[in-house]
Structure 1
Amino acid sequence: MKNFFLAICLLFAAQILNAQDLKKYDKGNFIKGKDSIYYRILFPENFNPKQKYPVLFVLHGRGESGSDNEKQLTHGAKLFLKDDIRRNFPAIIVFPQCPLDSYWANVNITTNDKGKRNFAFVEGGKPTKAMHALRRMVKDFLKKPYVNKEQVYVGGLSMGGMGTYELLRRQRRTFAAAFAICGGDNTNNITKYKNIPLWIFHGGKDDIVDPAFSMAIAERLKVVGKEVKFTLYPNANHNSWNSAFAEPELLPWLFGHQKN
């Protein structure tokens, strides 16, 4: 019984420490006209506003949508709090939050009688409310004197992976490199971001977003693109972001790119 209570106490303490760590991400918001978006931001240790730093925007999945400005830190945020990561990659990390009434990407979603979702990605089209606000927020960040415009990156998972492709094609001259985890896009959009180095991840057993979407994008980019990496985790389901964020080469690869 003592061991049981000890385990409960340790778990509770770990949760408190984790919450305290995530508080290192400052709260922010971008509000301009009809565009509004909440975000959390992690500045490098010993941040000097007179220096210029890389900036990475990380787009969350559908399950983390809302207005609490917290849930978007569920996946991936802990990675950037690690001491060695902060030491080796001093960058500004931004986690925007998509509202519940919108979606990062322009995609039509239907659900069949068995509860399985089907995704029909739009070719072209107008940006969603969330994407419109996100684009303006990104552009606003680029005006800040401490942002290195040659080292701007974006990455995301699930809905955020879909949003990554969309943001790349809508602001193709902004990003030095990107990563997309278990996302998808209309392959007719690929030529708009073909020159941006991209690392694509997907789980082979994903029963939420078909890995065929990522495979098609990767295969097309191998023909027309500048640089593409594709990693398929054969036994992973939709949570392939766990494996992707654990890739030791992800951040060296990402931050190793600069705009020409």
Structure 2
Amino acid sequence: MLRKLYFILLCGVLQGCAAQSKYKLIDAEQETVITENYSYYLYYPEEYEERPEEKFPLLLFLHGGGESGDSLVYVKRNGPPKLIKRGKKFPFLILAPQNPYKKMWWNTRSVIQLLDTIVKNNRVDTTRIYLTGLSRGGGAAWEMAVQYPKKFAAMAVVCGMTPLPYASWIDKKMPIWVFHGEEDESIPISESETMVAKLKSMGYKVRFTRYPGVGHDAWVPAYDNEELYEWFVAQKRQE
């Protein structure tokens, strides 16, 4: 079952600022309130209600720029939500939020707070939280792996931009699978090539699937690949 839900995030942020005059340095603090409104789909596997004592894995899916906006219908265009619409069944929960900003990056700090709220209010196995994203969402997935290295058990990125200088911040224990089309003109395959090479040189566990003759829509064969979901389910964080 795929549930259409809404999430309002209200968080307080303390920002330090300093003002320097001719005579003295003044330290100050200002409290800023940030509000994020998220619409999202939350998919539950059939077994979730049948086995009320069991905790289940969860997959966080971040869509691309074309699915951003104010209508959740867009989120069903690609990736796992599209497959769910077609009738595919998954063995884990799937959280698919919608980036409300068509021309802005994902706010990964608020996404992680949404994720934490979902985990808190559902029976989620915190050692089996998985992350995936395509295009702009793929870039956000890399960012989240850098910012929250102890959160995810595995990550799959499809044609995403990569934060190469921060490669060493990603948890070495987390398996990674990267997908990219060789003819991608929006985000060139060199983004994934250089990141994969860097991670492998440092001993990371990385798989890299290239699609000859495929452009930016590498997410079609990537998410149609049943092996991807079997790979996810096999991963578990070892603290």
User: Which TM bucket (shorter chain)?
Assistant: 0.7 to 0.9
- The 1:254–1:46 alpha-carbon spacing in structure 2 relative to 1, beyond 3 Å, is closer
- Cα separation, partners in 2 of 1:229 and 1:65, compared to 1, 3 Å: same
Q: Which residue type is aligned with residue 79 of structure 1?
A: L
Unaligned runs of 5+ in 1: 1-23, 105-129
**Structure 2: which 5+ runs fail to align?**
11-34
The partner residue of 1:78 within 62, 79, 82 is 82
Between the aligned partners of 2:234 and 2:47, the Cα distance in structure 1 is: 22
Secondary structure of residue in 2 paired with 1:249: helix
Paired residue total: 209
Distance 2:85 2:232 in 1: 17
More helix as a share of residues = 1
Which one-letter code corresponds to 2:144 in the other structure? L
| Counterpart amino acid of residue 132 in structure 1 | R
What TM-score, normalized by structure 2, do the two folds share? 0.82
1:159 maps onto 2:151 in alignment:
no
1:102 aligns with 2:104: yes
Deviates more, 1:38-47 or 1:237-246: 38-47
Aligned to 1:54: 57
**AA partner of residue 211 (structure 2):** Y
CA RMSD, Structure 1 to Structure 2 (Å): 1.7
Q: Is the 8 A contact 2:37 2:100 kept in 1?
A: no
Residues 73 and 95 in structure 1, CA contact (< 8 A), matched pair in contact too: no
Per-residue CA deviations over 1:214-250 (Å, capped at 9, x if unaligned) read: 0011111111143100011011000011111122311
Q: Which amino acid aligns with 2:236?
A: Q
Please state how far the C-alpha of 1:155 moved relative to its aligned partner.
Answer: 0.2
Q: 1:43: which partner in 2? A: 44
Once the two structures are superposed, the pairs formed by residues 3-22 of structure 1 within 5 Å of their partners are: none
2:66 matched to which residue of 1? 63
Q: After TM superposition, which residue ranges in structure 1, 4 or more long, deviate above 3 angstroms?
A: 80-83
Deviations 1:175-226 (A, max 9, x none): 0001000001121111111422110000000011011000011111111143
1:87-112 alpha-carbon deviations (Å, 9 max, x no partner): xx4210111100125312xxxxxxxx
TM-score by length of 1: 0.76
- How far apart, CA to CA, are the structure 1 residues paired with 2:91 and 2:134? 22
Alpha-carbon contact 2:45-2:91 (below 8 Å) kept? yes
1:243 aligns with 2:221: yes
